Structure 1
Amino acid sequence: MITHNLGYPRIGSKRELKRASEQYWAGTITKEELALVSRQIRTQNWKIQQNAGIELIPSNDFSLYDHVLDTSLMLGAIPERYHVLIDGISSKELDIYFAMARGVQKEGVDIVASEMTKWFDTNYHYIVPEFVKNQKFYRYSEKAIIEFEEAKQLGILTKPVLVGPVSYLLLGKEKEEGFSRIDLLDQLLPVYIDILQDLESRGATWVQLDEPFLVMDLTQKEREAFEVAYQKIRKALPHLKILLATYFECSGENIHTTVALPVDCIHLDLVRCPSQLSDILAIDSFVASEKFLSLGLVDGRNIWKNDFTKSLRFIENAVTVLGENRVLLAPSCSLLHSPCDLDLEKNEAVLSLEIKNWMAFAKQKLSEVVVLSKLSGASTFAEYTNQLLENQQAVESRKVSALIHRPAVKQRVASVQKADFSREKSFAERQAIQLKTLNLPLFPTTTIGSFPQTADVRQLRARYKKGEISHENYVKQIEDAIALSIEWQEEIGLDVLVHGEFERNDMVEYFGEQLSGYVFTQNGWVQSYGSRCVKPPVIYGDVERPVPMTVQWSTFAQSKTQKYVKGMLTGPITILQWSFVRDDQPRKDTAYQIALAIRDEVVDLEKEGIKIIQIDEPAIREGLPLRKANAEAYLNWAVNAFRLSASGVRNETQIHTHMCYSEFNDIIEHIAALDADVITIETSRSQMELLDAFAEFKYPNEIGPGVYDIHSPRVPSVTEMEILLKKALEVIPARNLWVNPDCGLKTRHWEETEKALKNMVAASENLRELHGSTQSVADYDGFSL
């Protein structure tokens, strides 16, 4: 029985890649030094997998920023605006790569970054491929070849991993009308085939082609595209073993398409969809074939130990039908979504031994795959009996531990009434009240919440956690930072202010630290995008709020100004989605527990005089099931969780929410059902395209479409922002339009933040002048320019 892995975390066990990338962008290390760190991480990853006993080890799963962006460069799919970097100031592949990821603004060149969105239902972001009607593909980046050869030099024959050709096209976006991106398949396939032939000529015996779209709702044309693609690949490469990887959902009706493809092995995610094992074993043509079946049994997206007894039943069922030689064992998906190594968690005061014993990170998950392989073999079973017993004891102890269950919390959720999900009055009635109460100017300016987290701020929090400074000293220094930020916001002319979130390490971790039922890690980092890593807290038990979490900071900030300061909270669905969540109860129940905790905070903020409260929900789209048939149930309880958190306040209190990097077309009714008074969204990279869904739906509430991209260091001009605002005014009534960045400014530097926000305020003021109005939005009835 062959063991293999679909992909390993690329950030380094101690976030070495993050530090090296940011140093390279800052100009403090060279390209060669960045390459050295990258090679060291890849070597370490390959050795870890080799030492664990994994037989088919992946290569090309490493990335400096994003594997979809890697694929675009591999295929020469470089949008025209970046060609100046090829033909002009530079011919360096790395310059083009990072320009597509982050934008570029230097040496007379000013180019916006490519659009970024979520990778299926994860918190990982990928760079969206851009296609035009006469798109040309050609071999450009040799990364996949280079890394395969690099591993060979270490004596490791890897299984190169590529995003499959059909999924690559479906991950992209048409940038002009009159064609479908799937029609580009004929131009794309020769490049794929050329690369695969090169890998085979260099000694590759297996390749892994990831086709996650085979778990999505597909059109007949898309299904046919898979058939055409793999028939041509097989014809050109009759001897290369192809492992086709699907994950994150059930294959559903696509299982027959998948089974019919001329590949050597099919990987199924049996964590997210256990039933598809019986589905594929019931297909006579598959059983009668010689194809391998890869069982994705170890959860690549959560941190709990594998239930060996349960997994062994799946293995037994597969082996009984197919025989041991046709079964492969693997994690459910790439371990990109898991922290690196549980062995790095050495502080029992942070993570107790009892709870740590319930967990497995990426390195430990590799061992679980290997142990499952050994346990399923009769000749070696006795040798691994102790591991089985230890595993089952850990799995069973988590189910019954007194740490997990709080009867009062469960009772509170059970007692929630229908009225708890709704505000007293409709939005139209609330808006009339809020316009007069708040008396804001037309096109009010604000930010999404956080300001740059300087090294001084991070060091202050670290010193406080280590006990090096007193609580009083810490509070004083945070208050000083807040006071300065309030003064600065007033100086540049923002209308609705924020306190800056200097006390927060992360928008989810900060709240998790103050809620019961949570535990934390020291090194449980996971990549979100590029160099941005998050350390998801762990929900292991029932959740409640013992004490107020943000009231102290928000009320202090409000005391420093006559302008309104927003209370800043993270919403229940985002806290749920961006945590590692317990799997012993429905996610809905956990979401409602969190919602009630946030509701308590919202009510307390209002009592202390905070008139505007933002409850961020950037992850609500992310949690959407990949199959439409499963979406409605999730959306109903997700919307209800937000409404439960927000509906305890008076009509005068304005509730904001924020969402970023999401497509809204298919869920716009549910976005409206959130009933937030103001929604702020990411729109700058898409040039306001995301507003189309709101316009077609005639979204009634107020909207703040982001007018500049905070994930890029470039500073957009006043004119650039005005153009975007005028586009927004084509579909949004003027009285409903807010002006703000795409997202929080935590990852930016102060210099670029100041320039960008000053330009944003100027753009808003220019728009007011064009309307011939500096009056209150409450007195303005115009629709657009």
Structure 2
Amino acid sequence: MIIHNLGYPRIGSQRELKKACESYWAGKITLDELQAVARAIRLQHWELQQQKGIDRIPCNDFSYYDQVLDTSLMVGAIPARYAPLQEKKIHETDLLFAMARGYQRDGDDITAMEMTKWFDTNYHYIVPEFAANQSFHFFSRKVIDQFLEAKKDNYAAKPVILGPVSFLLLGKEKSAGFHRLSLIGKLLPVYMDVLAQLIKAGADMVQLDEPCLSLDLDETALQIFSDTYAQLHAAFPRLHIFLASYFECYGKNLPVVLSLPVQTLHLDLVRCPSQLDDILATSVADTSLRLSLGIVDGRNIWKNNYERSLQQIQKAVSTLGEERIAIAPSCSLLHVPCDLDNETSISPEIKNWMAFAKQKLQELKDLRDIMNGNTALLDTNKAAIHSRATSPLIHREEVKSRIAAFTAADARRKSAFPVRQHIQQEQFKLPLFPTTTIGSFPQTDDIRQLRARLKKGELTTVQYEAAIEKATIEVIRWQEEIGLDVLVHGEFERNDMVEYFGEQLQGFLFTKNGWVQSYGSRCVKPPVIFGDVSRPADMTVRWSSFAQAHTGKLMKGMLTGPVTILQWSFVRDDQPRSVTANQIAWAIRDEVVALEQAGIKVIQIDEPAIREGLPLRKENHAAYLEWAVQAFRISASGVKDETQIHTHMCYSEFNDIIEHIAAMDADVITIETSRSQMELLDAFADFKYPNEIGPGVYDIHSPRQPSAEEMITLLEKAAVTLPVRNLWVNPDCGLKTRKWPETKAALANMVRAAEVMRTRAASAK
């Protein structure tokens, strides 16, 4: 029985890749130096996996930015707007960064490609773009180069490639009149070229990731899967194709999946343990198909329950035989931190319940050793599992009682939105196209150093807070100067939009090096929710009140919503996620009420993760949306009609959940729309979304500075689509990761764009 891995975190245990990329973008290191860092990370991770007994080590799972973008480059799916850069023959790595981040240099001003969430994770991928006359060719040889690199160093490498059908399904048509799946005939020859060259280089096994097999697929898509893999098998009958999907069951796709001519099929038995029985109940025993059992959770940090996993392994082995079974993580370990050994401040009791990527590799080895007779490993694991189940650190009766006392009135505002809107308009007297930002302003090195010095004891709390107050007053004055209508305090006191709250809520703990990649060089350190959640004290009132006291304009209170805190944390798996979400919701509700009592009239409860938490199968949508919307409404419904509740969502497709977004009943919703050129607004227009909305006009994930004219064009599209009286003007997201010069220029342009739109609206009356 072999053990293998689907992918390993690429950032490095100390975020070496993030630091190297950002240094390269800033011109502080050369491309050769960046590539040297990347190679060192790859070698370190291959060596680690070999030491842990991994029989097939993934390669090509490393990326400077994103594996889907890598695939676009591999097959030459490079949008036409990047042609000037290709004509200049810029390095492939620089082209990749331009496609991901935009390019504004030497007379070229090229927008970045769209970015969206990778299924229901907090990882973002760069969306492939397809035209009706799309052509493909083998452009980037990264997959070949990294296989040869691993082979040269004597690692048993298994190239990992995003499969051709999922690559098309994950993209977007950029012209009308065709469906992207119609391009499979042009795309497949390039994949065949790639596979032929891998075989020539010595590869005998290739992992093709087809995660879209976890989605609800129509007959056309399933037929394309059948035809595609039949052609691949015919072309390469001796190549061992390892087909991997994850995050869900194969569901109704299973009959087609089992008919595909592949050698090994991967099952995510963490997200869908029942599918093993479904498959073993078929005639699979009469075939030569091998199964890869994804039994170690690739998306959470809790220790594997060996007893439960062994039951699944033994069931599969008894039906198929040990030689036809492999064990693996449920998905790529991209979604978990690198190494628990780097954590020195977590209590030993709780640390004993956890496992990061390195430890998950050890768990696979342990499970095989237990199958071979090492019962001591099983006994040790049983003790850890029992310790967690019975620990008094986890359960708090007062929290459970409050959740049990919930009534429908707790999740309902006093009056309907039209009543609230009239009251708020009379009270605030904002102009048409009111301007605001999403919350955070750039976190400069000086600001981050303040927090670091406070933690080291180099600053007293009084000195630290005085410095934060100074920065806050400065940003308030600047916002007043450029003419923003609803201000924010900048969030200089906050490290991360989830971490900041988790640090002040009971039931959470934090790691020092538990970093995971969100997108590109952006890494986050998710909190760990290990027990019942409550709010022992005010979390934001001090800074919001301070900011409001220093301006006559409206100052937004800034909070992170319960579903986003849940989604962007490593969540306890010993109770339903809905219960944990409600516990967080009541804690946020207490903070919202406290802000209102402190005189804050506009409160934003960010929920960018509502859409990403949507189950992949439609039959599971309703149950999730019911508790997710309820959690938001609990958090927002404790205030008076006069208090305006905002929420923010970014990088989501809204068509399939628009009625539930409306059911959240926020007074104002702000969304990302600049990269999609306002396309996302169509869902709101078609639904006749009743509440106010701020479509983003400034792409904050790119360093380029949009002009006022560019923003006016976007606002004109929005004004045609939605009632002008309901439109706000704002960036796509918070500005924490941007630099001050580009931020100031872009927001000044944004205010000018809003003023132009007001003048035009007044003239049209």
TM value normalised by structure 2: 0.99
Distance 2:35 2:325 in 1: 37
1:42 and 2:42 matched: yes
8 A contact 1:157–1:204 mirrored in 2: no
Give matches, 1:157-176, under 5 Å: 157-176=156-175
Distance 2:712 2:100 in 1: 24
Q: Which residue of 2 aligns with 1:776?
A: none
Match among 313, 330, 355 for residue 332 of structure 1: 330
Query: How far apart, CA to CA, are the structure 1 residues paired with 2:222 and 2:72?
Result: 22
In structure 1, the partner of 2:418 is 428
**Which aligned pairs between 1:445-484 and structure 2 lie closer than 5 A?**
445-484=435-474
Map of 1:374 onto structure 2: 369
Rounded Cα–Cα distance in structure 2 between residues aligned with 1:29 and 1:523 = 24
Which residue of 463, 467, 481 corresponds with 1:491?
Answer: 481
1:507-526 correspondence runs (5 A): 507-526=497-516
The partner residue of 2:358 within 328, 346, 363 is 363
Shift of 1:585: 0.6
Measure how far apart 1:467 and its partner are.
Answer: 2.3
Q: Quote the residue 1:17 is aligned against.
A: 17
Give the distance between the partners of 2:351 and 2:720, measured in 1 at CA. 54
Are 2:204 and 2:240, in contact at CA under 8 Å, matched by a contact in 1? yes
Q: Which residue of 1 aligns with 2:123?
A: 124
Q: Residues 55 and 156 of structure 2 are in contact (CA less than 8 Å); yes or no, is this contact kept in structure 1?
A: no
Moved more, 117-126 or 192-201: 192-201
Native 8 Å contact 2:370 2:377 kept in 1: no
How far apart are the structure 2 equivalents of 1:283 and 1:170?
28
Aligned mates of 1:365, 1:705 — CA distance in 2 = 42
Letter in 2 for 1:66: D
Structure 1 residues 731-773: Cα deviation after superposition (integer angstroms, max 9, x where no partner): 1111100000000000000010000000000000111111227
CA contact (8 A) 1:243 1:267 kept: yes
Cα drift, residue 289 of structure 1: 0.8
- Paired amino acid for 1:129: P
Q: CA RMSD in A?
A: 0.8
1:40-60: CA deviations, max 9, x gaps? 100111011001100000000
- What amino acid maps onto 1:483 in structure 2? I
The answer (yes or no) to whether the contact 2:301–2:336 under 8 Å persists in 1 is: yes
Question: 1:94 & 1:581 partners in 2: Cα distance?
Answer: 36
> What CA distance in whole angstroms lies between the structure 2 residues aligned with 1:153 and 1:650?
67
Distance 1:226 1:200 in 2: 22
* Equivalent position amino acid for 2:684 in 1: F
* Greater Cα offset, 416-425 or 461-470: 461-470
Counterparts of 1:415 and 1:230 in 2: how far apart (Å)?
54
CA drift of 1:708 comes to 1.2
The residue matched to 1:297 in structure 2 has which SS?
Answer: strand
1:92 matched to 2:91? The reply is yes
Hey, what does 2:102 align to over in structure 1? 103
Q: Residue in 2 aligned with 1:437?
A: 427
> Retained in 2: the 8 A contact 1:85–1:95?
no
Alignment partners' CA distance in 2, 1:540 and 1:304: 10
- 1:312-331 to structure 2, matched below 5 A, reads 312-331=310-329
The offset of 1:90, in angstroms, is 3.5
Structure 1 residues 344-743: aligned runs within 5 Å: 344-347=342-345, 351-377=346-372, 381=373, 384-743=374-733
Amino acid at match of 1:327: I
Q: What letter is aligned with 2:167? A: Y
- Measured against aligned partners, the alpha-carbon deviations of 1:94-138 in whole angstroms (never above 9, x if no partner) come to 221111100000000000000000000000000000001111000
SS of the residue 1:540 aligns to: strand
1:146 paired residue number = 145
Superimposed CA distance per residue, residues 174-207 of structure 1 (whole angstroms, 9 cap, x where no aligned partner): 0111110001001000000110111111111111
What amino acid is aligned across from residue 130 of structure 1 in structure 2?
Answer: E
Shift of 1:720: 0.3
Q: In 2, Cα distance between the equivalents of 1:764 and 1:45?
A: 50
1:520-539: CA deviation from partner (whole Å, max 9, x where unpaired):
10000000000000000000
Distance 2:455 2:685 in 1: 47
Deviation at 1:386, TM superposition (A): 2.1
Cα distance in 1 between the residues matched to 2:371 and 2:683: 51
- 2:17 corresponds to 1:2: no
Residue matched to 1:279: 278
Return the alpha-carbon distance in structure 1 between the equivalents of residues 500 and 320 of structure 2.
49
* Aligned-residue offset at 1:468: 2.1
**Counterpart in the other structure of 1:196:** 195
Whether 1:221 and 2:211 are equivalent positions in the alignment is no
Residues 40-79 of structure 1 mapped to structure 2, 5 A cutoff: 40-79=40-79
Tell me how far 1:371 sits from its aligned partner: 1.0
Following the alignment from structure 1 to structure 2, what is the Cα–Cα distance between the partners of residues 466 and 735?
Answer: 50
Separation of aligned partners in 2, 1:395 and 1:728 = 53
Identity %: 65
Q: Kindly tell me the number of residue pairs found equivalent between the two proteins.
A: 765
Q: CA deviation at 1:5?
A: 0.1
Give the alignment's TM-score, normalised by structure 1.
0.97
Cα distance, 1:466 vs structure 2: 2.3
Residue 452 of structure 1: CA displacement?
Answer: 0.3
Cα deviation digits, residues 68-109 of structure 1 (max 9, x gap)? 00000000000000111111x333212211111000000000
CA distance in structure 1 between the partners assigned to 2:547 and 2:708 by the alignment: 29
Distance 1:92 1:306 in 2: 43
Amino acid at match of 1:274: P
How far does the alpha carbon of each residue in 1:403-455 deviate from its partner, in whole angstroms, 9 at most, with x for none?
Answer: 00000000000011110000000001100000011111111110000000001
Deviation by residue 1:519-573 (Cα, 9 ceiling, x = unmatched): 1100000000000000000000000000000000000000100000100000000
Q: Is the 8 A contact 1:444 1:495 kept in 2?
A: yes
The one-letter amino acid of 1:477's match is A
The whole-number CA distance in structure 2 between the counterparts of 1:472 and 1:343 is: 34
Letter in 2 for 1:232: Q
Matched, 1:297 2:291: no
Q: Give the letter aligned to residue 685 of structure 2.
A: A
Partner AA of 2:676 in structure 1: S
Aligned pairs (5 A) from 1:248-287: 248-284=247-283, 286-287=284-285
Deviation beyond 3 Å, 4+ runs, structure 1: none
For residues 337-360 of structure 1, give each alpha carbon's deviation from its aligned partner in whole angstroms, at most 9, with x where no partner exists: 01000000023xxx1111011000
Q: State the shift of 1:392 in Å.
A: 1.2
- CA shift for structure 1 position 160: 0.1
SS of the equivalent of 2:517 reads strand
Single out whichever of 548-557 and 762-771 deviates more from structure 2: 762-771
What one-letter code is carried by the residue in structure 2 that aligns with 1:365?
A: K
Q: 1:687 Cα shift?
A: 0.3
Q: Determine the C-alpha separation between the residues in 2 that align with 1:283 and 1:525.
A: 41
Residue number in structure 2 paired with 1:777? none
**Residue equivalent to 1:779:** none
- 2 CA distance for matches of 1:745 and 1:387? 48
| CA–CA distance in structure 2, aligned partners of residues 482 and 389 of structure 1 | 55
Shift of 1:464: 1.1
